[in-house]
Structure 1
Amino acid sequence: MLASLLLMSALALTGCGPKDADIEKNVATAISAYPGVSVAVKDGVATISGQVPDESTRASVEAAAKGVKGVKSVSNNLTVPPPPPPPPPVTINPDETLQSSANQVLAGFDNAKGVKATVKDGVVTLTGTIKRADLPGLMQKLNEIKPKKVENKLVIK
């Protein structure tokens, strides 16, 4: 009789722990600050899934899930995307090509008749006079020829 009483007491105590559904709800609340992350709980084991931006966030989500009462362990199935590829190297045309291209841009830009361009070490230097309204278009065209820099020493009229 004493043995059955102890067995019933043990079953009652283990039955009093939080239910998986309650644990899952509490974990979901704890990780709600992390969009795209979901949780499923079975036998007290929380399985977190989804994608996070970095390893630090992955660890933070796991820690938040582990901190919930009733969670026995966490199976972390979160993924982190690979870093983006580095940008392609900037190509700077040689001075001769830049000078020729800058001269072509100026010749084809009707409103830049009083503008001259010189090139040294990849830097296009503009001198002369131009209307304020015409400057953005000219600068855009000159940047398209891929200089290191366009140095504006123009007088705006």
Structure 2
Amino acid sequence: MQKTYLPSPATLEKKWYVVDAENQRLGRLATQIAMILRGKTKPDYTPFMDTGDFVVVINAEKVDVTGRKREQKLYRRHSGRPGGMKTETFDHLQNRIPERIVEKAVKGMLPKNALGRQLFTKLKVYAGPDHPHQSQQPETLTIQTIPGANS
């Protein structure tokens, strides 16, 4: 009788990747990052295990969106109190906390359970070009852009 292969956590090697978000489209960037965090780019992907890698995103302040999303896309948060809903546009949030835009986009593409929360901790987002993860020797990862897409 054959058994199904199950990767053990000891045999899984976790890599570190650096992604430059400068002039990247938010949605396309977030889908690629979510795939890496989830481990779907690896041959030993298992849906119920954390087989993914760590991702460091730099230049989050320079991420781009198409159309009129800069003025129209809204980010909502609630304090938990009656009347505690706060909304702000993409442009305002990018000026205030640019890291949160990439984090919310990627978090929405991860599973909504304990595994998703664990995977989200492997995402590190920084507004500028510097990050404190040089000792992990991260590889530079280029996100595929669509040639001829609107700029």
TM-score (norm 2): 0.24
| Structure with greater strand share of residues | 1
TM-score (norm 1): 0.23
Larger Rg: 1
| Structure with greater helix share of residues | 1
Which structure has more RCO (C-alpha within 8 Å, separation ≥ 6)? 2
